[in-house]
Amino acid sequence: MLAAVVAITTSDESSSSAAASSPPAPIVAQNVSMPPQTVASPAPPAAIAAPLQAFVAAPPLPPPPVAQVPPQRSTQCDLAQRKFYVAGNGIVRIHAGAYVSAPVTLGPYPQTVAFPASRPAPGTETIEAIVVEGSASTVVMTSDLPGFRKVITGLRGESSFNASWKSLGNC
């Protein structure tokens, strides 16, 4: 392999005036043979390739085992809360036993009024007096039990009825 070497010489400006009057030295290009160099290997060095090969060659990890836990049966029945869904036009409060709800501004969409007591256990029934007080042209009350619907029209003051609370499920 041949490489071109360029030799450039310059004169020193601080030298004598005689040297300054002489012409600058010529620039000469010479062909010089260079010792052969080894061509770089296309593969990366072993220090770099080893981690890459280990990463690529490693088999995928199996997923962690999933614990098979049998469903636990509750020894106690979770009883649903007693509640009504109310809609209509006006403002009412609902009493059940010692509980009195916050004032409910009725509208076209049912609002939930929940009581602090749970529904009775399966196979039993509880009858409770419900008092609706306030001022409303129409009060529509429904429940989680299918078929229950109570409509009160022209409410000024209070109206009462007996609610028959039943269990919602068999547990």
Listed in sequence order, the residues at least 6 apart from 158 whose beta carbon sits closer than 8 Å to its beta carbon are: 131, 132, 133, 134
Task: Say if residues 104 and 113 touch (Cβ distance below 8 Å).
Answer: yes
pLDDT at residue 43 in the model: 57
* Global pTM value: 0.53
The pLDDT of residue 34: 60
Between 171 and 160, name the one with better pLDDT: 160
CA pair distance 39, 99, nearest whole angstrom: 93
pLDDT average, residue stretch 60-72: 64
State yes or no: pLDDT of 156 exceeds 90: yes
pLDDT one-digit tens code per residue, 20-54? 455 555 555 555 566 666 555 555 555 555 554 54
Radius of gyration of the CA atoms of the chain, in A = 49
